[in-house]
Amino acid sequence: MRAVYECRCVAKTAAALLQGVPGTIFADGWLVKYSVPMESVDFLALRDAEVASRMTTGTGILSGWDITRRYTRAEWAAASHALVSRFRTFEPAGEECGTVYDDTGACPECAAGGVQVSPLRLPASRLPRGVDIAITIGGEIVVSKRFRECAERTELTGASFGPVEAPRAPHRTNEGWFQLRVTSQHLEVAEVTTFGRDPFDTTTYGRCPRGDLAGLNLLSELFLKAPPTPAADFAETRQRVGLANGVGLLRARRLLVLSARARTVLLAAGMKSLQLEIAHVVP
């Protein structure tokens, strides 16, 4: 596996603090983009500069970070599970369109765990085009009719497909989109998995002491504890990622995991925007 860290920095700051780290200047010379292998000398230089800035000024110098991972064919062939690592994200959230949640059973520490108690309601005009799976800013996953038909035809287990209703006409459903609702047993995240605000976060920011919210972002690869029974084709982690106590309509969400069979079926069918990483299972 090869992991690459990407970020941006103001060009003036980069010239002063990041000499020797190769980057690409853009935005009319205002910004520098860095793309370096994780744990390389250049990555460590970025880390040291970021940590030093936080310690001296209280703020960092890097922004817009991302981590991409590439696997060999042999690694994919040996993988039993895959994480849906990225989604096409869109607005609005279902909650602002009339989708109802019951938060009475949510975690008292982080407020995660509200239960959706109505069908998902979204305007048809705001659903994305050219993709087969996407997610709202509220964490609701929607899939195309093609995705649903493929899953049902191949008898993939662990999920149901709920309707997407029109906000002002609840009984008028969208024929091209459905909400993916995972129904299988939750998977436990292994302790070796790391979460946080960014790759240089050494605090406990955003982590629930009760374990319901793992952190703001998944930083490492996902490691799962071996389930007591064979996992379904669609599964979710018990732990959530996102903002503690939420911000407006942003709800923490569980991580979506596919079996090797589901990955093979959906990729063979050419599902658009399905981005995956290997999810490792440990004893």
pLDDT tens readout for residues 128-172: 999 999 999 999 999 999 999 999 999 999 999 999 999 988 789
pLDDT of residue 247: 64
**Which tokens is 6 given?**
């990407």
pLDDT mean across residues, the chain: 93
pLDDT score, position 246: 63
Ordered DSSP codes for 56-80: HHSS-SEEEEEEEEE--HHHHHH-S
The pLDDT of residue 73 is 97
CATH number given to 2-70? 3.30.70
Domain parsing of the chain, residue ranges? 2-70, 78-86+185-282, 88-181
Helix 145-153 / helix 260-268 crossing angle, nearest 10 deg: 130
Say what the pLDDT of residue 138 is: 94
pLDDT at residue number 227 = 87
Please tell me the predicted confidence (pLDDT) of residue 19: 85
Express each pLDDT in 4-33 by its tens digit.
999 999 988 888 888 889 999 998 889 999
Query: pTM score, two decimals?
Result: 0.93
CB atoms within 10 A of CB 182: 17
Identify the segments of the chain with pLDDT beneath 50: none
Strand order in the sheet with 169-182: 88-90, 133-136, 141-144, 169-182, 159-166, 120-121
